[in-house]
Structures are given as C-alpha cells and as structure tokens.
Amino acid sequence: FHDIKSVHTWFKSASATNPGDLSFLFALQDARSGNADLFSTYFNATTGTMVAWIADGATSDTPTFAVDLLDASWHHYAMVLIDNGGTDFLHMYVDGELAQSDLSINCTIGNIDTDSLFVGTSPGVGVQPTVAASFAGQIAPLAVSKDELTASEIRAIYNDGVKAMQVAGTTN
C-alpha cells in the first residue's frame, strides 16, 4: 500500500461502555519496520476518543477527535491525508461531516509505505495482533484509496450507506 490518501469504513461498537483497552479500527503498517510506516485509527484506552496515528519512518503524529464514538451505534469514518506540496495535513470525517482537521502533520505523506492491512486489530509494536488492541464490535468493509476524497464525496458515501442500512433495517 503506497501513496494511500484515503481510508473509510462503517463501524459499530459492541457496547456503549468504554472497554478500557486500546481498540484499533484499522492499521496499515509496514510489518518489516514495526511502527516506522503507519496509517491507522484507534480508540483511546481511557477516554474512548478516536485517534489517528500516522508515521512516515522518521516522524509521527496523532491527531485526536475528542468525542467518544463507542456508543453501540453505527458510524461512518473517513480519514483523508492531503499532500499539499510540503505542508501535509489530515482530515477526519465522522458521519459525513468534517470532524477534525490537523494542518500540522509532521509526517511526509509520500514517504508512508505499508505492506500489511489489519482490520479491527493492530500488529502491536512489530509483533502479531494482540487481544488488547482488538475492536469489540462490527466493522463494515474498509475502503482504501490513492485518491484524496473530497468532502462532497465523503458525504455522498455516508448518505448512500445510511440509505442502504435503512433498506436493510440495520440502522442500529
């Protein structure tokens, strides 16, 4: 996975109670170098807030969305890395809306090169997935793209997903 720009998925936690453990939604990671190249999202062990973790082999950044989304309801999440010609930044979207914008990403997006995808877990620090890092709940198929999804594209993906869940009767 080279030149990843966008990742999005639907998720629902198993309970409305914060599990108290680190909980990865997904991790794209270079298994050969541990956490050197990383593109991931996890829930904080004590607060349940969503954290993006991005590393390029030299530096890392962890912008946080300060709302606890472990509430046993379906949510759509999108993470978009913007390569702005020297000033790279991140947008985090929740339920079709821009939730967090971090214009001070310390990583060079073009340098992130991952070879492994973990959904609902993380390989930990250069090792196999650990139970403590596993997400308790449901995760819909994860979409990974080399394109920088726009706000209107993410909103359309969210709206289409809401309509599909209503037809299927799975809104909660």
Instruction: List 83's β-bridge partners, or say none.
Output: none
Check whether 80 has a pLDDT greater than 80. Answer: yes
SS3 string, 34-58, reads CCCEEEEEEECCCCCEEEEEEEECC
Q: Is the pLDDT of residue 78 over 90?
A: yes
Residue range 8-61, pLDDT digits in tens: 999 999 988 877 777 888 887 765 555 555 778 888 878 888 888 877 777 777
pLDDT at site 21: 78
The per-residue pLDDT for 129 is 47
What tens digit of pLDDT does each residue of 134-168 get?
Answer: 888 999 988 988 889 999 999 999 999 888 777 65
C-alpha 42/C-alpha 11 separation (Å) is 12
Task: Please name every residue paired with 23 in a beta bridge, in sequence order, or none if there are none.
Answer: 43
Q: pLDDT value at position 35?
A: 53
Nearest CA to 81 out of 52, 59, 57, 115 is that of 52
Give yes or no for residue 172 having a pLDDT over 80: no
pLDDT at 53: 81
Query: In angstroms, rounded to a whole number, what is the distance separating the alpha carbons of residues 158 and 41?
Result: 18
pTM for the predicted model, two decimal places: 0.83
Closest CA to 30 of 64, 60, 62: 60
Give the model confidence (pLDDT) of 96-131 as tens digits.
Answer: 999 888 656 766 655 555 667 788 887 665 444 454
Task: Enter the DSSP assignment of 141.
Answer: P
**Is residue 74 very low, low, confident or very high in pLDDT (cuts 50, 70, 90)?**
very high
Residue in this structure with the two tokens 């999804």, named with its chain if needed: 149
